[in-house]
Chains A and B, each alone.
Chain A
């Protein structure tokens, strides 16, 4: 009731501000900085207090080459890492293997960055990421690993379940679902199809990693169209569709609690229940909250960012506006297409820009969110495995092993964790399939993120963490300030 009153109270002010924004647009200002700033100011009042810290898992399916995004600084010194690496990656960068070309590419395509003695670059088209790095909001956790196979399917499963021992055919709870359970909250899937990451443990056996339940999973694939069609009212005449609608409403209401949880149809009855429970409430909450123009722009296929991800960014914004209704502490996003065997530069550089550019989806989202919300939010960005150290003959890179995990948020203690460019790689660079060593199991990285969301939850979410490999010198508790 309190929330309803608040919405009602705020409504007049929002309408005024929305009108002001519309007026500004009408006189030709366009959805530029001024409008965005005014909009953000207006929107700030729309956000409820979050139910707690929120982890947003952004999965980059396909095996993203983070070395392409964050390469070592080029060095002309023979035998140096910065020289050997670049020579072995020239084709993947789409350039010739000459000192001048390599130097030029480094100079023109990368923003230099450093952490201690480690010098690396951030792709210039990823300005938002560079900006977050400079603000100390980015932890680059190196040499992480999940699956020890180079099989996409297995690798994705391991990352979703958060279980480096999971077999290819295993099922079970996802680490996001376990985190939601541990924090007595829900996991919200912002993707069209929920990833197993968001499946919770079976409440009857929460310690059994091979059983799962979707009772804490909410699918919000299209937050602006989330309700079931409903017919209200009584005995007056109805159209044929409305009689069917009311028959179904009555039917599902009557079946509530009648279906065994083990039934294959249970999950479908649950969809109906949850959509009824959340759909209309979310519709009501969002009815007076326009989509920020910058986010609206990327939900269309002809927009400047890939729309499948743009829609998820919009969904995340809406889910945060409704975080109290959803009791959301975990959100799940994905961005596919990172399997860059061919013409790597052409294929993944635009995608990195879509994610991390100043005009990319995350930057737009960040501009739309008020600071208190951002402070409560953490992005965990990873893929199923890294790629090989040297490029292939197709100007791409093939499947590898270890990789980077990015943690991004104001609560993160920015820096590089682990040896970003181990010298030992130099000796393996000309092996048949040289890859990045996996030194730190995902348990430690995701476990630390879980602890940040719900203090003490990491041990439940990653029960094998104590025995999982950890690179010497890396202290996961230091990932956060």
Chain B
């Protein structure tokens, strides 16, 4: 016992030191007023509306649920929203408040630069302290097909990093400016693409420069094939693919005001601008895999070109891309469409014309187009926190929200709590292989419209529920890891865990709906599962457990309602000294998690 206590104390000390270091290392975020959080068209919610649920909704929408502790969420809810949001959303590689080490973590990942490449190298390595099981390390090697998605899926759930950063990284590389491993983009190109975009965002570059960095990348050149475009003797040996999509997908310009001009001048000349930019290897083993573009004046249309009604100059394609970006970001169509693309892709599947107009107003009001500023203003706005906002979760979002809210520590994820292969091989969704190629990954509405996705999730929760209901996590020959719900679940004043409080806490933790959808039927089933490990029918009607029940059966406060209430007052022995008793309590928590995640509420989020 003494040894155990000593180890525990040592671990707590180490963790505390790291947390202190992380907090010191955390970016100086500045004064929110000076940062100018609010934007015209996006007024902030009142301090009263900015409550625990509001904070959780921001975390679900922008950070895959985040890994913040309940106390931190309460702190943010007590702050003015403009101050809290600066702490929640940043592009730093580490955000110790949003992603603190878990109780049993040492958060070694914090010591890394936080780029996808550094994480890939680390988790693939045999370096001391790498907790990735040796049998899985190959999945993270940069030259492995799986490296970008293996690394990213871990980064987005790993305590000590920054899930908001990974959320936006995914949006930019898989949705807004999507490229695709299955289309020939190499792992070297993909990882560098991701890291370069996030480096530009972290540096606070204007959004048009972020887009230009993406547009000038080797990944995009490979995806669209203009790595082989050349201009010689007045003839363009080129295709128009990216010449069209840089305007349409990256900036939202369709040329609707003058389609003929757009087709025959802007696109034709952009194709000529995208010449003389072959891919070269540098660190990759051969040119084909290379992550760098060699911008040449030879083979490039070096003379000025008219694009978007402006003369675009530049000795190389890179210079022209950056010049185009400066013009495109101020184009009327881009001003109209880009903010809608961003918010539609991240947070709202119900963008009405009125909401679109407000987003446009906010976007136009920023002289220096900052994605971070826009997202911060939006995340605390009345628009985000309004009841007519609906965001359906795509499969990846649902998977990661579950990972972050049902997972409790990094060691659980090193033991592959979520069994990542299910996402890929059961639901058929693969990060960095977007379902619609350059038009992006599976959308939330697509997932919600698919009975197939619903069925797979439902059957997962009912046939493979042991992932969450097993009190121990086994992996290869490692010592089993006991799940530690007792360190997170709320206690009553006497220190005991009471079923009704734990049920509400789990519902809010996983769904962040402020218990809006937590009705009598949900409550009865969760109380029964937590109190007895059985469904409510088995407890209420032991001989006829399949007897149908509707909310009306609970309306009069009689038998079923009374039973549900009494079940809710029972205790859960989550920290019992008796192993069997403790394991049984944790098993029931896992059953409750499975139940919650199989309800429709796990597939979407409403604004309020």
Q: Is the CB of B538 within 8 A of A246?
A: yes
Any B CB within 8 A of the CB of A245: yes
Q: Is the CB of B268 within 8 A of A341?
A: no
**Contact (A341, B451) CB under 8 Å given A235-B538, A394-B229:** no
Q: Top 4 nearest A-B pairs by Cβ distance?
A: A268-B600, A393-B237, A394-B239, A247-B535
Any B CB within 8 A of the CB of A219: yes
List 15 A–B pairs whose Cβ atoms lie within 8 Å, in order of A's numbering.
A192-B428, A221-B452, A243-B535, A244-B598, A246-B546, A248-B599, A254-B521, A258-B550, A265-B517, A265-B603, A268-B454, A339-B437, A393-B230, A393-B238, A398-B239
CB-CB contacts below 8 Å: A247-299 with B: 247-251, 253-255, 258, 264-265, 267-269, 271-272, 274-275, 279
**Contact (A248, B450) CB under 8 Å given A264-B390, A341-B225, A392-B239:** no
From A134-142, A147-155, A316-324, A366-374, the one touching the partner chain is: A147-155
**Contact (A240, B240) CB under 8 Å given A192-B428, A267-B449:** no
Q: Is the CB of B235 within 8 A of A268?
A: no
Q: Is the CB of A149 within 8 A of B254?
A: yes
CB-CB contacts below 8 Å: B439-476 with A: 439, 442, 446-455, 458-459, 461-466, 469
- Bound-state CA distance A72–B176 (Å) is 39
Closest residue of chain B to A61 (Cβ to Cβ) is B436
**Which residues of B have CB within 8 Å of A226?**
455
- Bound-state CA distance A229–B224 (Å) is 43
Q: Is the CB of A250 within 8 A of B537?
A: yes
Q: Is the CB of B545 within 8 A of A235?
A: yes
Closest residue of chain B to A91 (Cβ to Cβ) is B237
**Contact (A229, B463) CB under 8 Å given A247-B595, A398-B240:** yes
Q: Is the CB of A238 within 8 A of B534?
A: yes
Contact partner of B229 (CB less than 8 A), chosen from A151, A247, A393, is A393
Q: Is the CB of B595 within 8 A of A264?
A: no
Distance (whole angstroms) from the CB of B234 to the closest CB of chain A:
12
Contact partner of B268 (CB less than 8 A), chosen from A234, A235, A433, is A433
Distance (whole angstroms) from the CB of A41 to the closest CB of chain B:
32
Any B CB within 8 A of the CB of A419: no
- Bound-state CA distance A87–B529 (Å) is 73
Q: Is the CB of B450 within 8 A of A342?
A: no
Q: Is the CB of A150 within 8 A of B451?
A: no
Any B CB within 8 A of the CB of A109: no
Any A CB within 8 A of the CB of B259: yes
Number of interface residues of A (CB under 8 A): 64
**Contact (A228, B535) CB under 8 Å given A241-B462, A254-B551, A265-B603:** no
- Bound-state CA distance A152–B439 (Å) is 9
Any B CB within 8 A of the CB of A475: no
Tally inter-chain residue pairs, CB-CB below 8 A: 210
Q: Given contacts A240-B533, A394-B225, could you give 4 more A-B pairs where the C-beta distance is less than 8 Å?
A: A150-B263, A152-B439, A193-B453, A243-B535
Binding site for B on A (CB under 8 A): 148-154, 168-169, 192-194, 214, 218-219, 221-222, 225-229, 234-235, 238, 240-241, 243-251, 253-255, 258, 264-265, 267-269, 271-272, 274-275, 279, 336-337, 339, 341-342, 392-394, 396, 398-399, 431-433
- Bound-state CA distance A339–B439 (Å) is 12
Number of interface residues of B (CB under 8 A): 85
- Bound-state CA distance A396–B536 (Å) is 62
Q: Is the CB of B528 within 8 A of A214?
A: no
Distance (whole angstroms) from the CB of A478 to the closest CB of chain B:
33
Distance (whole angstroms) from the CB of A232 to the closest CB of chain B:
9
Contact partner of A275 (CB less than 8 A), chosen from B228, B455, B465, is B455
**Which residues of B have CB within 8 Å of A394?**
225, 228-229, 237-239, 241
Any A CB within 8 A of the CB of B414: no
Any A CB within 8 A of the CB of B606: yes
**Contact (A250, B535) CB under 8 Å given A193-B446, A235-B543, A265-B517:** yes
**Which residues of A have CB within 8 Å of B300?**
none
Contact partner of B244 (CB less than 8 A), chosen from A234, A235, A399, is A399
Q: Is the CB of B606 within 8 A of A341?
A: no
**Contact (A234, B545) CB under 8 Å given A221-B450, A244-B591:** yes
Closest residue of chain B to A266 (Cβ to Cβ) is B600
Query: Interface digits, B556-584 against A, CB 8 Å rule (1 contact, 0 not)?
Result: 00000000000000000000000000000
CB-CB contacts below 8 Å: B210-256 with A: 224-225, 228-230, 235-241, 244, 248, 254, 256
Any A CB within 8 A of the CB of B493: no
Q: Is the CB of A244 within 8 A of B236?
A: no
Closest residue of chain B to A388 (Cβ to Cβ) is B240
- Bound-state CA distance A54–B600 (Å) is 32
Q: Is the CB of A341 within 8 A of B462?
A: no
Q: Is the CB of B591 within 8 A of A246?
A: no
- Bound-state CA distance A148–B256 (Å) is 10
Q: Is the CB of B462 within 8 A of A250?
A: no
**Which residues of B have CB within 8 Å of A169?**
340, 356
Q: Is the CB of A250 within 8 A of B268?
A: no
Q: Is the CB of A251 within 8 A of B466?
A: no
Q: Is the CB of A339 within 8 A of B241?
A: yes
Binding site for A on B (CB under 8 A): 224-225, 228-230, 235-241, 244, 248, 254, 256, 259, 263-264, 267-268, 340, 350, 356, 390, 392, 428, 435-437, 439, 442, 446-455, 458-459, 461-466, 469, 517, 521-522, 525, 528-529, 533-538, 542-546, 548-551, 553, 587, 590-591, 594-595, 598-601, 603-604, 606
- Bound-state CA distance A85–B21 (Å) is 69
- Bound-state CA distance A341–B454 (Å) is 36
**Contact (A392, B238) CB under 8 Å given A150-B244, A244-B529, A246-B537:** yes
**Contact (A271, B454) CB under 8 Å given A152-B439, A247-B536:** yes
- Bound-state CA distance A234–B449 (Å) is 33
**Contact (A246, B550) CB under 8 Å given A241-B466, A255-B521, A394-B237:** no
Q: Is the CB of A243 within 8 A of B542?
A: no
**Contact (A264, B545) CB under 8 Å given A229-B458, A433-B268:** no
- Bound-state CA distance A152–B248 (Å) is 10
Contact partner of A342 (CB less than 8 A), chosen from B225, B463, B469, is B225
- Bound-state CA distance A336–B439 (Å) is 12
Q: Is the CB of A393 within 8 A of B544?
A: no
Q: Is the CB of B465 within 8 A of A240?
A: yes
Closest residue of chain B to A344 (Cβ to Cβ) is B239
- Bound-state CA distance A63–B230 (Å) is 25
- Bound-state CA distance A250–B522 (Å) is 10
Contact partner of B462 (CB less than 8 A), chosen from A229, A255, A258, A279, is A229
Contact partner of B548 (CB less than 8 A), chosen from A238, A250, A272, is A250
- Bound-state CA distance A254–B549 (Å) is 5
**Which residues of B have CB within 8 Å of A238?**
534, 538
**Which residues of A have CB within 8 Å of B587?**
240
Q: Is the CB of B599 within 8 A of A251?
A: yes
**Which residues of B have CB within 8 Å of A271?**
451, 454-455
**Which residues of B have CB within 8 Å of A168?**
254
Contact partner of B522 (CB less than 8 A), chosen from A218, A251, A433, is A251
**Which residues of A have CB within 8 Å of B469?**
240-241, 244
Closest residue of chain A to B228 (Cβ to Cβ) is A394
Distance (whole angstroms) from the CB of A1 to the closest CB of chain B:
23
Q: Is the CB of A243 within 8 A of B241?
A: no
- Bound-state CA distance A150–B255 (Å) is 10
Of the candidates A218, A229, A234, A268, the one having the most CB atoms from chain B within 10 angstroms of its own CB is A268
Q: Is the CB of B241 within 8 A of A274?
A: no
Closest residue of chain B to A250 (Cβ to Cβ) is B537
- Bound-state CA distance A247–B461 (Å) is 12
Q: Is the CB of B450 within 8 A of A193?
A: yes
- Bound-state CA distance A410–B207 (Å) is 56
**Which residues of A have CB within 8 Å of B533?**
240, 243
Q: Is the CB of B450 within 8 A of A192?
A: yes
Closest residue of chain B to A219 (Cβ to Cβ) is B451
- Bound-state CA distance A156–B466 (Å) is 42
Q: Is the CB of B229 within 8 A of A149?
A: no
**Which residues of B have CB within 8 Å of A264?**
350, 390, 392, 448, 604, 606
Contact partner of B264 (CB less than 8 A), chosen from A152, A250, A432, is A432
Q: Is the CB of A268 within 8 A of B529?
A: no
**Which residues of B have CB within 8 Å of A151?**
248, 254
